Amino acid sequence: MKVGDVFAIETTNGKAYFQFVKKIPPMGSLIRVLPGTYKTEPNVNALVEEKTNFWIFFPVSAALKQGLIQKAKSCNVPGHSKETPTFRAGVVDPSTGRVDTWWFWNGDKEWKVGEITEEQRKLPIRGSWNDTLLVQRIEEGWLPEKDRR
């Protein structure tokens, strides 16, 4: 597995594609999920140039070994996606189902921010998903700003 490798994963709507960007300890493999699902293979070179749908950590090597994903192509990571995005993270209050205090993390350091703005809701949520959750979220059209915690 190399930086820039693009992989396909089956969904009920066709194949979805994502690109491996880098490994960041302790979270693991950072991927950028690309827009759309496809019944036939898209132009992968053009697809990787598109804006990232969302970022998440995903065990790419394990999923590949288990046959859960297939390598589609190796492409350069576009300039707009080379930098590690700033992620948001927080603990959900079980009584409200919401996060009261958010933290930001840039892959290197973490800092407390408290409440976040609507614009900051677009920041990716720090977490690691398995293939089942990744497929579910792709099928739902999930985006970080739709997560109302």
Cα separation, 139 vs 126, whole angstroms: 20
Distances (CA, A) of 102 to 89, 108, 112, 114, 146: 6, 17, 6, 5, 16
Is pTM beyond 0.85? Reply is: yes
Beta pairing partners, 20: 31
In angstroms and rounded to an integer, the radius of gyration of the C-alpha atoms of the chain is: 15
Q: What is the 3-state secondary structure (H, E, C) of 121-149?
A: HHCCECCECCHHHHHHHHHHCCCHHHCCC
Strand-pairing partners, residue 110, are 105
- CA–chain centroid gap for 82, Å, is 14
**pLDDT tier, 148 (very low <50, low <70, confident <90, very high otherwise):** confident
How does residue 136 score in pLDDT terms, banded at 50, 70 and 90?
very high
Residue 70's beta-bridge partner residues? 8
Number of domain units in the chain: 1
Q: Give tens-digit pLDDT for 7-38.
A: 999 999 999 999 999 999 999 999 999 999 99
Alpha-carbon torsion angle 19, 54, 83, 62, nearest 10: -40
Before 26, cis peptide (omega within 30)? yes
Q: Around Cβ 42, how many Cβ atoms within 10 Å?
A: 19
Q: What percentage of the chain exceeds 70 in pLDDT?
A: 100
pLDDT at 142: 95
Mean pLDDT of 41-53: 96
Please report how many Cα atoms fall inside a 13 Å half-sphere around the Cα of residue 38, on the Cβ side: 16
Q: Is the pLDDT at 147 greater than 90, yes or no?
A: no
Q: Which domain holds residue 107?
A: 5-146
pLDDT, tens digit, 9 for 90 and up, residues 96-120? 888 999 999 999 999 999 999 999 9
